[in-house]
A and B are shown apart, each in its own frame.
Chain A
Amino acid sequence: MAEESILTDDFLRELMNVGEVDILVGVPTFNDARTVGQVVQAIRAGLLKYFPRQRAVIINADGGSKDETQELVRAASISDLQHGSNLPALRTLHCISTRYSGPPQGGNALHTIFAAGDLLRASACAVVAADSTSIEPEWLDRLLRPVTRDNFDLITPLYRRHKFDGLLVRNLVYPMSRAIYARQIREPYASEFAFSGRLNTHFLSAESPQYGESGNEFNLLVAAISGGFRIAQAFLGDKTRLDQPPSDLVQAMRQTVAPLFGSLERNFPYWSNDGQPQPIPAIGPVPELNLEPLRINRKRLFQMFTHGVSELRPVFEVILSPTTYAELQRAAAKSEDQFSFKDELWVRTVYEFAASHHKEVINRDHIIQALAPLYRGRAYTFLVENRDASSEQVEENVEGLCRTFERLKPYLLDMWERK
């Protein structure tokens, strides 16, 4: 029986018409009509300006939008049928849109883009988020040029962010992935990134691909690290999104922490070796943090933490060591102005969650959900400690946390292998 393909026949027919390309830019979407037009126009302008001679295609992998997302993407095509276009284009530029099968989630979208890139033999691919309204045409150059010119295989972004933006990344994802995989990559879960055809082929030919799952961008990163591919980071600029919706923390953790924990499972032989941290080249200026005042309800974070520590006691007793849980209880018993979720306790907590996730002591999704209230406590501490901090001070604090994750890596190994 033929293996079921994620690519529909119509999409394959469109790919056939596109033919081999040098550059592919993928845009995952789901009901993004408000922003995707602007984003695709910027991508097109970037391709025309910086890669006018290359064969390029823009591919939109859509999760079943009910709005005009797909039409807006297709309208950006440049062809001899678009009469009256004054765009200075040497070539045809196909902008195609496909509705992938399965639920609307990033994993399926990226899988579709990766597969298209492989079929079209694209030597360089980039992925751009459909809601990245701060995108400039220059982003295409900064992402793709290191791949096309300098033979890098993966380019992750550096953004100018607010010092309190991306708390989950700063407090968990970045420092832990840096400690585990020994690479200083600031945005392991990038919504914009670029990769080479070589890496794409390597990733897709992996024995146990995790295509449909969330975190494909992270899986690609781990594949690049473990496969010895060349990685660099490129500064893009401000990262803003139009009307950012209220974040669903648990969902965010499912999309980031769960793949991170899951990757430990598959890559144990790699990360369990004592690899020396390797610097990752950064292209462009080092971004400074945005220090504008920001209103955040810290009190509610603290309340959710203390409530979680007491309410989820049976769960924590299975996941955490008695020592760690006791320390958490003591911390939670303190008043708000005395509370501090110290780096060392936070790192041990996270590592114990990771080991429990490995051992599947309870349902793995429940483990991820149980980490959420504890993360809120850590986020509270980060906000308080950095309330008046300068850009450099925030960076120093994040660096300190990273070093703690690195120092305690043997603790994770010990927990991992303990029966």
Chain B
Amino acid sequence: MTILQDALWYKDAVIYQVHVRTFYDSNGDGIGDFRGLAQKLDYLQDLGINAIWLMPFFPSPLRDDGYDIADYRSVHPSYGDLEDFKVFLDAAHQRGIRVIIEMVLNHTSDQHPWFQQSRSTRDNPKRDWYVWSDSDTRYRGTRIIFVDTELSNWAWDPVSKQYYWHRFFSHQPDLNYDNPAVRAEMWDIMKFWLEMGVDAFRLDAVPYLVEREGTNCENLPETHEVIRELRAKVDQQFPGRMLLAEANQWPADLRPYFGNGDEFHMAFHFPLMPRMFMGLKLEDRKPITEILQQTPSIPDNCQWCLFLRNHDELTLEMVTDMERDYMYDEYAREKTMRLNLGIRRRLAPLLDNDRRRIELMNGMLMSLPGTPIIYYGDEIGMGDNVNLGDRNGVRTPMQWDGGWNGGFSLADPEALYSPLMLNPVYGFQAVNVQSQKRFDHSLLSWMKRLIKTRKSMPVFGRGSIEFLYPANHRVLAYVRQLGRDIILVVNNLSSSAQAVELDLKRYKGNILIEMFGRNIFPRIGDLPYLLTMGPYQFYWFRLRRI
């Protein structure tokens, strides 16, 4: 299989997010690597995903899990080298899997040679590659993102005796995008990887590229200018490649990042994710439909990126105080589960390891408008370890089997980059790929069927959506349509059986075909269409006029 040339490939993608370090260790040093990842591509192909999003794998002091980059053109030695990456990339492409890599534009590690030079003397040529100030009072209207660890967005540099600007950790100085040399260099880096064959970049922390006095230093017009410049170069020199924005913002604030189809191809829909969890716990579709009502339309060549969980905490920045309190109380009763403004837990523990809820959430992920992302391990229901610091509790080794180190590595357990999950519920002996492969009804097997069904019709990735608003608020129902393909999706968010009447008059005469079992349901007539649903059940129906 090879990569099909379709400029809108990202609309039909099912993305798998993985950190090289966590997936498979091929050389027994306790750390996952590119050779290991390449060995597991058959597994990913079998799962049905067709894109991989790799978290940062560049040389780094690893004080922020690789988002503190010290060299943009190389591979962290723990994961292999550039050659290993190229082998992996080719192998993925041969399996029809595209590769998305990280591009941390906003900041570098303080160990990056650029910063080392910049701080060395005030007249160093790299001095202006970062944002320096004599005072820590500039840009006072700017919020602090990592409120648990940082007191200010300025940090004092004792070497050059000035403050430097950082929106994240103080060891991650922000680059100065007012400097044309910085822009040119970052494009050169992107070009380096694009020429190698990577299919897309996830651009990290994009709202913060440029600072201006008197603003909150987020989403500034000058930042959009940087993005447009990069996009134009990608389109011109590497057509068919994709840019994905990480911008934790409200939909209306995110919309400009799509521009007129000339900035990002895709952007994460951050506010939707917590509301899916909220709707499930409240047994009420209101949070979900409301945020999607507030979501502006985007250009035809653009797409939302949807996710349930990722490598970060379940962020609660884009919710009201009341909603945040509710989410904490319902999903993170223990203080150790909370981090910054979020909840550092995986999907299965968040849902009490309830298979029905896990299926329902994945069903919505795969059927709402956008491109879904599966976080590694969630396809088998891996757990988390909230006793590990920062967000490391959701970054434990992939659980391949019930043997030595869960099949992740041949190293001594003490040498692993992170402790394995060991508890009787989520530990590798209870939850692993090998055991789930044996049963058709395991979560892994079910996820394969779900992905396959989604991929069977482009309507899921490219179709319109229309909500039905049945009077039963526990039921979330919508119609996806692309040309003559029409899909009806009905989700019961409730823990109890529900009856729901759907107004399907406009589809009168169609019969419903349930997409997983391919069973025929009664023809749509004049009366409201009555469905009864079990707890947390969902239906995908294809409408056919025969």
Contact = CB atoms under 8 A, between A and B. Distances in A.
Contact of A80 (B286, B326, B474, B494): B286
A20 interface: yes
Interface in B157-197: none
Interface string B42-74: 000000000000000000000000000000000
A19 B493 CA distance: 12
Contacts, number: 52
A292 to B, nearest CB: 41
B496 interface: yes
B496 A52 contact: no
Contacts of A90: 278, 282, 284, 286-287, 322-323, 326
Q: Which secondary structure characterizes the binding site on chain A?
A: loop
Given A14-B471, A79-B473, A80-B293, A19 B286 contact: no
A304 B172 CA distance: 92
Given A88-B322, A90-B322, A90-B326, A19 B285 contact: no
Q: Which of B326, B467, B473, B494 has the most CB of A within 10 A?
A: B473
Contacts of A92: 284-286, 473
B473 to A, nearest CB: 4
B321 to A, nearest CB: 9
Interface string B301-323: 00000000000000000001011
A17 interface: yes
Interface residues of B, number: 26
A241 interface: no
B326 A53 contact: yes
A16 interface: yes
B500 to A, nearest CB: 8
A79 B496 contact: no
| Interface bracket on A | 10 to 19
A19 B282 contact: no
Interface in B448-482: 467, 469-474
A89 B284 CA distance: 12
A120 B282 CA distance: 16
Interface in A19-39: 19-20
A55 B323 CA distance: 15
A81 B471 CA distance: 10
B442 interface: no
Interface string A48-89: 000011010000000000000000000000011101000011
B498 interface: yes
A91 interface: yes
Given A90-B322, A92-B286, A17 B293 contact: no
Contacts of B278: 90
B475 to A, nearest CB: 9
Given A16-B499, A19-B498, A20-B496, A91 B322 contact: no
A94 interface: yes
Contacts of A94: 473
B175 to A, nearest CB: 39
A55 B472 CA distance: 13
Contacts of B235: none
B289 interface: yes
Interface of A: 13-14, 16-17, 19-20, 52-53, 55, 79-81, 83, 88-92, 94
Give 4 nearest A-B pairs by CB, closest first: A92-B473, A17-B471, A80-B289, A17-B472
Given A19-B496, A92-B285, 11 more contacts: A13-B471, A13-B501, A19-B472, A19-B498, A79-B469, A83-B293, A88-B320, A88-B322, A90-B322, A90-B323, A91-B286
Interface of B: 278, 282-287, 289-290, 293, 320, 322-323, 326, 467, 469-474, 494, 496, 498-499, 501
